[in-house]
Structure 1
């Protein structure tokens, strides 16, 4: 059966498997591994709109300080090349396949911490990744308790529980994704510390650590 979006929709409607192939996937992963100094584990899924969403888990043999050092030297991530690595190679991958492809989660497992970045709108990770890493560098001292303790997990972003839920229920169509403004990436991050029983929230504007009980983690 030909590899087309219509055939995917028909198969899913009939209860068929959601397993599918992406053409050019090995080249995509190999290119990112080189530019991000990492080994990469990738998973993929089709959402309700028949879009392909990727989860990328990067294992990088650097500390967070080391990553920021190479980032500032314009090495890690190849952000200043002509069309930086993640955007360029995602476009190449998409050109070889019959549907929209986006990054749903981008996780970086370092020697001293893990950074988990979640999609909040279409292309949000590819567009904002460079700015997010830059902000991690700017707030490094404050989010590590004045260099006293490194969080072992960093979630970007988290949401105030008084805000509208990220997902709502629809009786007809199931879960619906609500796109958020890119500013959400730069308001609250969730931090886990070995010395803390519960997660803390880092508020970027005030450069302050807050209790995490009133926030929604991904």
Structure 2
């Protein structure tokens, strides 16, 4: 089954946002650093002055396994251990909401990259407010599926792209392709938990993690180039 991955490594962000560009940004960044035990860089991918599209880079000084262990023990990210927690109780959701309340222009979280010592986890927006609403559940599922994502603990992927979408096809033609980092009105929260793209040092090409099968599945992951 073919998959599309529209170059998850986005074009270089336009600019690192200055504290004075967004009211409350300095405190928002500080709270994120406390939340993730990390250094945080926030960039803006929007050329428009009427909207901010945040690309948040979180750099941690521990590996993926340690991060998931900290998450499960409740000392990292301050998220719940189950995926049924109301989104309005998520600390990340609340921080984004507070930042929006202090500004009179739309603020979107377009991408969050969590950089562990041995793995980069790249999460893309798939509908309005999808990352603030779903980051809790995404990290919880990352921990729950750690064994499958790491080839039964044999190899840690150096990059995880969340999510990827299967191309919808019929017998003759491809229907409209759903791109992982492009907003689409039909995307839903469950679309984060179908397929993830993985890169391993031992594989030349990207591989696909299937949530239903709880393992890596065969398939072609296509890179779209403008």
With the shorter chain as reference, the TM-score category is 0.7 to 0.9
Deviation of 1:212 after TM superposition, in Å, equals: 4.5
TM-score between both structures, scaled by the size of structure 2 = 0.76
Q: Does 39-48 or 201-210 show the bigger shift?
A: 39-48
State the alpha-carbon separation in 2 of the partners of residues 136 and 117 from structure 1. Answer: 11
Please give the per-residue CA displacement for 1:160-183, whole angstroms capped at 9, x wherever unaligned.
Answer: 12363236xxxxxxxx83231111
Structure 2 residue 191 is matched with structure 1 residue 184: yes
State the alpha-carbon separation in 2 of the partners of residues 111 and 217 from structure 1. Answer: 28
Moved over 6 A (4+): none
Deviation of 1:90 after TM superposition, in Å, equals: 1.3
Which one of 150, 153, 163 corresponds to residue 159 of structure 2? Answer: 153
In 2, are the aligned partners of 1:56 and 1:107 still within 8 Å (CA)?
Answer: yes
CA root-mean-square deviation: 2.6
Structure 2 residue 42 is matched with structure 1 residue 42: yes
**What SS class does the counterpart of residue 112 from structure 1 fall into?**
coil
Structure 2 residue 173 is matched with structure 1 residue 166: no
Please give the per-residue CA displacement for 1:121-149, whole angstroms capped at 9, x wherever unaligned.
Answer: 11111111111111111111111111111
State the alpha-carbon separation in 1 of the partners of residues 139 and 216 from structure 2. Answer: 19
Please give the per-residue CA displacement for 1:69-105, whole angstroms capped at 9, x wherever unaligned.
Answer: 111122211235x943211221221122111212110
Map residues 18-33 of structure 1 onto 2, 5 A cutoff: 21-33=21-33
Higher relative contact order (CA 8 A, sep 6+): 2
**What SS class does the counterpart of residue 26 from structure 2 fall into?**
helix
Q: Structure 1: which 5+ residue stretches go unaligned?
A: 1-18, 168-175
Query: Which structure: larger Rg?
Result: 1
Structure 2 residue 132 is matched with structure 1 residue 126: yes
TM-score between both structures, scaled by the size of structure 1 = 0.79
